[in-house]
Amino acid sequence: VDCNDGNPCTHDSCNVKGCLNLPHAQPCDDGQACTLADICVGSVCKGQLISCDDGDPCTTAQVCVQGQCTAGKGVCDDGNDCTRDHCTAGQCNHKPLVSDCDDSDQCTIQSYCKGELCQGGVPIDCDDGDPCTSDRCVSTRGCLHDIGACAADAAKSVKTSSANDGVGSGGCAARPRSTAPASPLNFALWACVAALIVRRRRRI
């Protein structure tokens, strides 16, 4: 009879009553690369976790991965592009810098650090050179070119002529072509005027 229970923390034997699997407190291997001094405790193999503390108060806690301690990271990063962060004797220090930075404003360029703060740079020029658009800048989106008078008039006035277009105070604007039918009285009036002019020329 095979009495092996597959547990490294038991002594396996057999007697007249059958199999005996008695626990012991001997060294063992728990199969974990990040433990040391493995020993059987209550039929279970247990080890002590490897300590990865580098003793540096300026780094984050290290962990063991496949038997190796990972490098600790600095804990003094204040997230400010305008400071140089360093740790001395467990104390964080943030030294102001004089350098370029990002002020998160899409309407400025050449932002710079001053007194640990990122100062807004030079406003960008959003003029697209089109008199028919209204140009503006939004800090979260950048330059915007809104449709101006020309496109609005073109959408409202279907019957327009390029000969009737002019330039207004805000750029170009279209003047609707008159679609009213000519009055017969107007033709009669112009005919009378023409006849009078002809008669006067004949008298002269």
DSSP string of 55-69?
S-TTBPPP-EETTEE
Instruction: Tell me: pLDDT of 178 over 60.
Output: no
Higher pLDDT, 1 or 41: 41
Residue 174: predicted pLDDT: 43
Share of the chain above pLDDT 70, in %: 72
> What is the per-residue pLDDT across 139-168, written as a single tens digit (0 to 9) for each?
999 999 998 655 555 555 544 444 444 444
| CA dist., res. 132 & res. 163, Å (int) | 18
**176 confidence band (pLDDT: 50, 70, 90):** very low
Of 24-28, 90-94, 129-133, which one has max mean pLDDT? 24-28
In the DSSP assignment, the letter for residue 43 is: T
User: How would you classify residue 66: left for phi > 0, otherwise alpha for psi between -120 and 50, otherwise beta?
Assistant: left
Q: Mean pLDDT over residues 7-23, rounded?
A: 91
pLDDT per residue as tens digits for the range 100-152: 888 888 999 889 898 888 888 889 999 998 888 899 999 999 999 998 655 55
The predicted structure's pLDDT at residue 16: 86
Q: What is the pLDDT of residues 40-70, one digit of tens each?
A: 998 999 999 998 887 777 777 788 888 888 8
**Distance between CA 113 and CA 103 in Å, rounded?**
9
State how far the Cα of 161 lies from the Cα of 41, in Å rounded to an integer: 98
Kindly report the pTM of this predicted structure: 0.34
What pLDDT is recorded for position 155? 52
